[in-house]
Structures are given as structure tokens and as C-alpha cells.
Structure 1
């Protein structure tokens, strides 16, 4: 009997304020786990989905519509085309869905990345993490549920902060996050679908709104990372286009953001499509205080329960675990 291996892929913060679809970073928690083993059945099969949250049980599709299966099939096909694996190879997966669905933390992307890497590891790890084909395999899987973008899957794969300079051709730039960078994520018990969040985006934006402050703030985020200047990074997390369009989807968003900034956050915005809200600081203890203030603000706006995650940036990305 072939032995199971396990692979962990982390949650991610995508968009990072003004960096819609082009900036993202990985965090310490939460994350998804894929168990995988070689199978006598040709192709990829999904044996089980184990849900950490009872309310999510049964909500994910099985079979070839699951992002984990799509990513795994794409990688297996790439390995076969490059001559690393026989055409008759088969893989069996089990998904440990630890991440909440519809959280804005790259849930489907984490499943895809963990599955893609698990297949690669099963067959001797011939593909590097930065290989465009393995990242593209995950982007294509993510496209089946939430659109063709890499700002979740790329940081989940590579770790750290990433800039997607181009999609055609795919050009992903890893950025080295400041050592002291701490991310606070508050996930209210409330769900926003990615499709709904994309549907409210404006189709046209005035040039004066794009050049300054939007382009300037994107540059400020990247400059803050490269200069290791968290204050610059934080004040550049200022989105005047996507955040205002989506704010009404998250009860009390602006009050939560104000609570974070008053508690010492250097910057704050919506994580991905929401409803998670993230903040940046330079100290873990201060991060916990910021998280509590944000959760309290959500409670004052009718959402009694929120989950708080405080961690440094995950610099490793996807990894095999014991």
C-alpha cells in the first residue's frame, strides 16, 4: 500500500489595499492540508473532504470540480508531458479543509496549492516552486471558483510577499517582507462570496482617481517593502477604488478600520474579497490588541463572533508536513 504524505498551504492576504489582483502575502495561520498517495487508478481522485467547521460540511464540490483536484490534475499532466511520470500514473487525495469558506483568505487557493505541491512531492519534486507551470496549474484551478488571478496562489506557493507584474506572460516577483511585519486578520462570522464581491466593482474609473492616489499607493506599498519601511507600507494601504465599492458588503467595515488605526495599526483594509479585514503592525502583542479592538467593533455592529489571527508573514509558503 502506498504511503500517504501531507502538505500544508497557508492562508493569504490578497489585493493588499490598492494592489487589486497584483499584490498578496502569506500568513502564519490558518491554512489547508492535503494528504496524497499514489493510486492504481489513472488520474486524480478525491477520497474525502474533512471539514474543520461544521457549518461548511458538504459545501465543497467533489471530483473534478474541486480546486484541489483541478490543480492536482494540471500538475500531473505537466509531469507527464515533461517525461517525469508515466501516462498511467494515478493520485488519490484527501482534503483537510481547515480554512473557512468565503473568508477572503484564499481558501480555494490554499487547497489548490497544497494539492499541486503534493503531486509534485509524490513524484520526486521535479518542479520548483517558482516554475510557471505549477503556479499556472493553481491559477487555472482558482479560476474555476473565483476568477483568473494569482495574488492568493502565488504567495501560498512561494511564501512572503509577491507582486504579479504580468499574467500574459506570467511574471511573478517575490518581495522580501520586513522582518518585523506582523499581520492581524479578523474574520467575522459572516460570509461574502468572491463572485458577489467582484460583481460590485466599478467598470470604469476616472483617470484622476487612478493616477494619484491609486498608482502612487501601489508604488508606496512596494517601496515600503523594499525599503523595509513599515510605516510607508502601512500608509500606502489606501484603496480609493475597490475598498469603497465593497465596504457595504461588510457590516461596520469603516468602524472596524478606524478601531484598528486608533489601536496602533499602520494600515488596514479588506483581505481579498472579504469579509476578513487585515491590519499591519510591527509587534505581536500590539497586534493582539488591534485584533481585539477590531473584533469588538464588529460586535458593536451586530456580528457577535469573530476569529482573530495574528502572525508574522509566512516566508516559506507551501510545505510538506509530518
Structure 2
């Protein structure tokens, strides 16, 4: 292949209680990436979006992934990559992960798929390290594998794809900035054993609920007693939006990644749409622009575009 085009999905990391280990791909929004094979060992990055991201490969999330792959392959070929981001950086919807995962996936296709999904995740984690200072895979794994994934371990990497429940995702991205690095710095360094035990129970219950397709168990497991109480203070109207979503019939939800986006899971599309309208109204009321998305869980992940 000389050229490939991709749609790379947004992702919801943590799924409330699974900090750095659980993630889910959604259908909207998606980045667009195009890759072209070069006959010289050069790497060229173009951005056609409005976010002013660096095009120097060593400072670009996709670029550092591709540099690692080129170093590993010891190839005399290079790549030209054009990126149009529809997932706004700093949204909490896996923007950096989309660039990193899309880079690994696109080049793998150009070269005839020499790498496994797990190997692509390993390369993509270098992009996350550039973006946040930490190599984590909770966004990258579902982006590449699709659906919901459990990252049992990052070092060594151990990814477990879970089943995809037939649920609707409502996500709102209020136009306020929360940097992943900043959101990590405010986390508690020590937690009470009582809270840890409760959190472990929630994570186990959520994974069991996903595997058993037990929506009630999923709902009562979507609770975070460690991270959400701290990070929620960075998100306007978070507590009110969560309460009103549950009143409207959501199974549950919380902060998407490090925020400021908030997501909710619902059994019915009608409920998901109702929650979306409420979310938009709440942010309009305080003069904060927002983007709202309603979609099914994306069980495919990255896909090619003709």
C-alpha cells in the first residue's frame, strides 16, 4: 500500500472507577488521518485543523510514535502524515491517544501489518508519554482494539478485550481546559484502605457487569470514591449534571478521562438524547459553549476510509 486513510475514534478512559486500566471507544467524534509511504527515511507531519499543534515530529504525538517505529524497523522508507483533529486536545476524549494510536495503526497497514494489536499499543504509548508524561494505555487500547478494554498491566503490557454491551453513550465536552498533566498532579498520594477496598469492588463489579451484560450491575458499579471527588472540582456543574442524568434514567457515568468531558451510559437512545439536551442546556445557562455527542459503544475501533 502507498496510501491509507483512517477514521480514529474518541475514547472514554477510566469508566469512572477504573483509573488508568479501563477504556471504551465511541463512534463520535473521530479524527481523520492520512498516511503516504515515502521512498526515503523522512517523516513529514501536516495538521489541517485549527489547534496549532506542532508539526516537528519530535514534538508531535503521532510523530514520536512513528519515529520509534522507524527506529525499530531500521527502514529506508519514510512517511507523510496529514492529521485533521476533530477530537479537541484537552477534551478528556482521548485526543492524544487518537493521534498516537492512529499513527501506529496507519503505518502498520502501509507496511503490510507486521505488528500485532498489542505491539501497536506499545508504540502508541510513547505518544501518550509525550502528551501527559506517563505511558498509559487506557485510551489507546480501546482505540485500536475497539469496544471496552481492560489494561491489566502496562509494564509488562497485558490487555484484555471485554465484551461490548448494547448501550448508548452521551458525552458532553464543555469548552473549558483541563490538562491531563494538571489533573494528575492534584490526585491524592495516599488513600484510605476503606476507600481502596470499595474501589476494588466497584471495578470488579463493573467488569463482571460488562461480561454478564448485566446493566443493573454496571449501573451500581459506576462509582468512584478516589479520583472523581478530587477532579470533579475542575468541571463546572459536574455534580448537578450527574444527578440530573441519573434522574433522567442513565445507568451511571462520570468524568471522561481527566475531563472536562462528562459521559453517561443509557440503555435507550431516547434516554441518551434526553440527557444530551439537558447537558447542553445546563452549560448554555452559564454561558459555557459545549459539544454534545450521542453514540453507541464503538466495537470496531479505528477503521479505514475509501
Q: Say what the alpha-carbon RMSD is for the aligned residues.
A: 1.5
1:207 matched to 2:205? no
Could you tell me which runs of 5 or more consecutive residues in structure 1 were left unpaired when the two chains were aligned: 82-86
- 8 Å contact from structure 1 (residues 188, 275) kept in 2: yes
Say if 2:268 is the partner of 1:283: yes
| Runs of 4+, deviation exceeding 6 Å | none
The Cα offsets for residues 54-106 of structure 1, whole Å up to 9 and x where unpaired, read as: 4x2x144532211111122223344x26xxxxx21111111111111100000
Query: Take 1:77 and 1:285, find their aligned partners in 2: how far apart are those partners?
Result: 49
1:161–1:177 contact (8 Å) kept in structure 2: yes
2:59 equivalent to 1:65: yes
Deviation at 1:303, TM superposition (A): 4.1
Rounded Cα–Cα distance in structure 1 between residues aligned with 2:2 and 2:158: 36
Flag the 1:17–1:100 CA change in 2: closer, same or farther, 3 A.
Answer: same
Cross-structure match for 2:240: 255
Residue 315 (structure 1) aligned with residue 299 (structure 2): yes
Taking structure 2 as the reference length, the TM-score comes to 0.95
TM-score, structure 1 as length reference = 0.91
The question of whether the paired residues in 1 share the 8 Å contact of 2:53 and 2:60 is answered with: no
**Residues 189-246 of structure 1: CA deviation (Å, up to 9, x unaligned):** 11111111111100000111111x2111001110110110122112211001100110
1:40-119 → structure 2 map (5 Å cutoff): 40-46=39-45, 48-51=46-49, 54=50, 56=51, 58-60=52-54, 62-78=56-72, 80=73, 87-119=75-107
Following superposition of structure 1 onto structure 2, how do residues 231-310 of structure 1 map, counting pairs within 5 Å?
A: 231-300=216-285, 302-310=286-294
Q: Are 1:225 and 2:213 an aligned pair? A: no
Contact preservation (8 Å) 1:257, 1:294: no
- Give the match for residue 4 of structure 1: 3
Q: Is residue 214–residue 239 contact of structure 1 (8 Å, CA) maintained in 2?
A: yes
Distance across 2 between alignment mates of 1:296 and 1:9: 29
Cα distance in 2 for partners of 1:305, 1:163 equals: 33
CA-CA distance at 1:128 after TM superposition: 3.0
Residue 48 of structure 2 aligns to a residue whose secondary structure is strand
User: Could you tell me which residue of structure 1 aligns to residue 139 of structure 2?
Assistant: 152
Task: Give secondary structure in 2 for the equivalent of 1:269.
Answer: strand
The Cα of 1:296 is off from its aligned counterpart by 2.0
Aligned with 2:176: secondary structure?
Answer: coil
Corresponding pairs, count: 305
